[in-house]
Chains A and B, each alone.
Chain A
């Protein structure tokens, strides 16, 4: 099954994402901010990254940008979870190399449905 790195500084959101995905059979690892995620992503190869945007230490957009520069993550789908449905954040995300986004709030079913768009 595909491996996913779930990145969110909010423990409740991270747990929700991770449990939902685990429940669907994905292999999920959690990271609590961009710095943590960047480290974990280099320790093993993930098939998909799901990250929050607004985080301390390193935000989601910078994370995506830095991951895209790594040869191993050039084509890996990266989704950002954002409440800012405003065009500028999406555009900034896209410019950094994000594959797509999900607008919070979402429920587990929506999350799984979105993931099937990029995995499978």
Chain B
């Protein structure tokens, strides 16, 4: 029969990634020296399952690779090997390498053989370095296969007539589920079988235990079966019986020539290893491949998957909700069938029930797209471990609120900015141990990654207890680079914001940990692209916090609808700071720069919405008749002049690009309750537009 193995591949790949993740977090949690068998077991099981699956589904390169890892882990599990930092590092590197291999196989692209063999060698060195010599034969699998294959064809046909087998099962053989009759059936397939049962040992009927086997057999098998074939049939019962094979010889006993051959083969594995070892020692330095690997795996990890795993309880809630909805619907149609005015009250309560259920249904559907932020956070212990080792800093990572849920799209897109910020904190934030000690702090730096919900938003905070941002240094640097005016009077907050400017970097020299061409400006841009913002709180000598505010979902937006003429626009609630009424007198006109007004200590430009979007029949042409909505986008504040404010509401974002084309100043559209279309404002785009 043929089964298409390819149908299991996708499941297998997903399992691999899960297994690798479990292995990785297990490895990071391993304490050196003492052996936590449960953690090692989890790691071992990961390698073990991947090996089993990859062998079965024909990914030999993966199974060979995991075999070595498994051997190493097996020794750790049995306590034959100590858990050392170097072994953990090599294993971590191998996990990355394996992930890459699986990703390559999954995407049908080529596996980087040189990297694979590099890691294989590192593993073998680790394995051989302190292992007992008995283990060393484990490594080169192909040679072993050759040895096994050899003795399969001894030349017995001409001289042997068959086999005589004395088979005496022990009493409890049946309790292993083995049945002698089945063994005989198999033997009969190899040739002509005669069985003679020896029943002398069967006890008296009254003493007979029917669950025991008291019969012994003499078997004669005539034919060309080899000893291996015969012996294999009894494989499962060895130890549960007495078994004796003897060959039924017909004529001459010809000495076997194949045997010396195979015995010469056996020492070969050791020779191979001996040749291998010296070459590999030079090729590998312990930490380097590990660090480079993480870089690669990050690239591989970006590809967003289109499938989603949903907690069953969420689906249950959804089904429950639909049930409620159906009940309400049938109730309403009952009222509608014979409607009289005295049923008006019922109709109203029915409608409000419908509204409530629809809202709940919407919430549950949105909920399905929600994933715990731990999907992103779980990668960071590894990142921190690798980088802190490399920088020779002592750093502890604390994760808080990993179960906070966010939209799947946010989860996928927030990873890169977070990686960058954490690298930054590791590299620039936390000081070297001696400096920390001198400053009276604990040698171990602390980075806290925290996620929580606040008012329809998710907040992610990255806090380090490093040396904080140096305001004066930042300003000096910005002036040097010509980014700000020499006598500009900047607030602390504005000074910190400088690091988000393109082309700004405070580190004395760019290391390969942070500052890899991607600057903080890109981080901020990415976060803003998600509809969020980032702010900095810092205290010199005490540490820095980066707080990222993100919308919970990208599909629904909290908006403020504003009226301009006959049009309705939606202003994202996140960007609104306040709304005020001003009089004409408060306006200042600046030649070539348009209008501004003074809001407390700041002068803000005014954007007249009807002018920029060319709206006719505008109701408010004078300042006093309309309203100014103060908004902030990409650090720039301005006032939008609109006719009036309408309600606040959640709107479902429809893409303008997909349905029409990109329009500057507009980020999308939505359909209002009355069926008309309202455009959603893109505040940074609007500011750019008005500056032209």
Contact = CB atoms under 8 A, between A and B. Distances in A.
Contacts of A77: 177-178
Nearest to B239: A94
Interface in A82-120: 83, 91, 94, 97-101, 104-109, 112, 117-118, 120
Given A104-B52, A118-B182, A12 B177 contact: no
A10 B175 contact: no
B11 A15 contact: yes
B176 A98 contact: yes
Interface string A66-84: 0010000011111001010
A101 B51 contact: no
Contacts of A98: 176-177
Interface string A1-38: 00000000111110110011001100000000000000
A54 B47 CA distance: 11
B401 interface: no
B307 to A, nearest CB: 14
Given A9-B49, A16-B8, A83-B48, A106 B56 contact: yes
Given A54-B45, A54-B48, A101-B236, A10 B53 contact: yes
A98 B240 CA distance: 12
Interface in B15-58: 15, 42, 44-45, 48-49, 51-57
A16 B1 CA distance: 13
A54 B3 CA distance: 25
Interface residues of A, number: 40
A104 B67 CA distance: 12
B48 A12 contact: no
B57 A12 contact: yes
Nearest to A101: B236
B188 to A, nearest CB: 13
B425 interface: no
B5 interface: yes
Residue of B11, B15, B185, B236 most packed against chain A (CB within 10 A): B236
Contact of A15 (B8, B70, B178, B185): B8
Contacts of B235: 100
A18 B575 CA distance: 55
A54 B175 CA distance: 23
B211 interface: yes
A83 B51 contact: yes
Residue of A11, A97, A105 most packed against chain B (CB within 10 A): A105
Nearest to A100: B236
Residue of B3, B53, B55 most packed against chain A (CB within 10 A): B3
Contacts of A24: 1
B56 A13 contact: yes
B239 A97 contact: no
A101 B211 CA distance: 23
Interface string B468-493: 00000000000000000000000000
A108 B3 contact: yes
A19 B12 CA distance: 15
B56 A19 contact: no
B186 interface: yes
B63 interface: yes
Contact of A97 (B11, B57, B176): B176
Contacts of B185: 120
B177 A99 contact: yes
Contact of A19 (B3, B175, B211): B3
A99 B236 contact: yes
Contacts of A83: 48, 51-52, 55, 70
B174 interface: yes
A74 B175 contact: yes
Nearest to A81: B52
A59 to B, nearest CB: 9
Contact of B52 (A10, A76, A120): A10
Interface string B416-456: 00000000000000000000000000000000000000000
Contact of A20 (B3, B15, B63): B3
Contact of A56 (B9, B45, B175, B179): B45
A74 B211 contact: yes
A108 B3 CA distance: 7
Contacts of B240: 94
A104 B3 contact: no
B1 A109 contact: yes
Given A19-B3, A100-B178, A12 B15 contact: yes
Nearest to B11: A12
Interface string B58-98: 00000100000010000000000000000000000000000
B49 to A, nearest CB: 5
B8 A99 contact: no
B688 to A, nearest CB: 50
Residue of A52, A94, A106 most packed against chain B (CB within 10 A): A94
A74 B235 CA distance: 21
Given A54-B45, A112-B1, A117-B182, A105 B52 contact: yes
B49 A54 contact: yes
A16 B5 contact: yes
18 contacts: A10-B15, A10-B49, A12-B11, A13-B56, A16-B3, A52-B52, A54-B45, A74-B211, A75-B174, A75-B175, A77-B177, A99-B236, A100-B178, A100-B236, A108-B5, A117-B186, A118-B177, A120-B185
Interface of B: 1-3, 5, 7-9, 11-12, 15, 42, 44-45, 48-49, 51-57, 63, 70, 174-179, 182, 185-186, 211, 235-236, 239-240
Q: What are the nearest 8 A-B pairs in CB distance?
A: A105-B55, A99-B177, A12-B12, A100-B236, A77-B177, A12-B11, A105-B56, A104-B52
Given A16-B8, A100-B178, 18 more contacts: A11-B15, A13-B52, A19-B3, A19-B8, A20-B3, A54-B44, A56-B45, A75-B177, A77-B178, A81-B52, A83-B55, A83-B70, A98-B177, A99-B178, A104-B52, A108-B3, A108-B5, A120-B182
